[in-house]
Amino acid sequence: MKIIMLGAPGAGKGTQAEMLAEKYDIPHVSTGDIFRMNIKNGTELGMEAKTYMDKGLLVPDELTVRILLDRVAKDDCKKGYILDGFPRNIPQANVLEEALSKLGDKIDYAINVEVPDENIIRRMGGRRACVACGATYHIENVPPKKEGICDKCGQELILRDDDKPETVGNRLQVYKDQTQPLIDFYSTKGVLHNVDGTKDMKEVFETIVAILG
């Protein structure tokens, strides 16, 4: 079972991917994690990616797919995997499809977690992070015991730049420009399933499980 998680930043796709990975005992494969792991371990692919990252450049699609295929060739991916954060655009989707096709493989499900922009801006604007220990909270869903203060270490909580409304708005626009076309791409392949991400986290999870059968 090979699954791609789609959805705007803050839609909750990462959380759902983790829950699905646990239920089906398949890896949650995040491209960011793979890059970090390869660079940390000093692999040939990691060092190649690092040459681009050190210059502030995006890692080319072809190299990203090679790193991804190297990861999903591991034994723990034999039953399947969940891709989170890749592909980000149509060229990446084409490269991935071509590479999997050569292996006699394909993506089985593309799960699109749909959440309106205003909900995402409100969700992310409510996040708070501890400047000292990194603990995270949400002023509505997971508030600290004392407003603005971390439960764990007593230090100040902040609204990160990434979660400020103007930054979130920009990120959503980038998502729409680059990643939204993937929804049409996987729809034409007959593997796209849209899920209402505004519902309770458990409800969303149960809906996805029902789709996967």
Tell me the pLDDT band of 88, cut-offs 50, 70 and 90: confident
What digits encode the pLDDT tens for the residues 126-173?
999 998 998 999 998 899 999 999 999 999 999 998 889 998 999 899
Active site residue 128: no
Options 78, 146, 160, 176, the catalytic residue: 160
Determine the pLDDT at residue 53: 84
What fold characterizes domain 2-116+178-212? Rossmann fold (3.40.50)
Options 50, 66, 122, 171, the catalytic residue: 171
Query: CA angle at residue 14 from 49 to 171, to 5 degrees?
Result: 70
Determine the pLDDT at residue 112: 96
Active site residue 88: yes
Quote the DSSP letter at residue 59.
P
Whole-angstrom distance, CA of residue 148 vs CA of residue 139 = 9
Report the percentage of the chain scoring pLDDT > 90: 63
Determine the pLDDT at residue 18: 92
> Is residue 109 pLDDT above 90, yes or no?
yes
Determine the pLDDT at residue 28: 93
Active site residue 160: yes
Torsion, Cα of 83, 88, 93, 99 (10° steps): -60
> Is residue 177 pLDDT above 90, yes or no?
no
Determine the pLDDT at residue 41: 92
Whole-angstrom distance, CA of residue 204 vs CA of residue 110 = 15
What digits encode the pLDDT tens for the residues 9-61?
889 998 899 999 999 999 999 888 888 889 999 999 999 998 988 888 878 88
Determine the pLDDT at residue 174: 84
Determine the pLDDT at residue 32: 80
DSSP labels, 77-133: GTT-EEEES---SHHHHHHHHHHHHHTT----EEEEEE--HHHHHHHHHTEEEETTT
Options 71, 88, 123, 128, the catalytic residue: 88
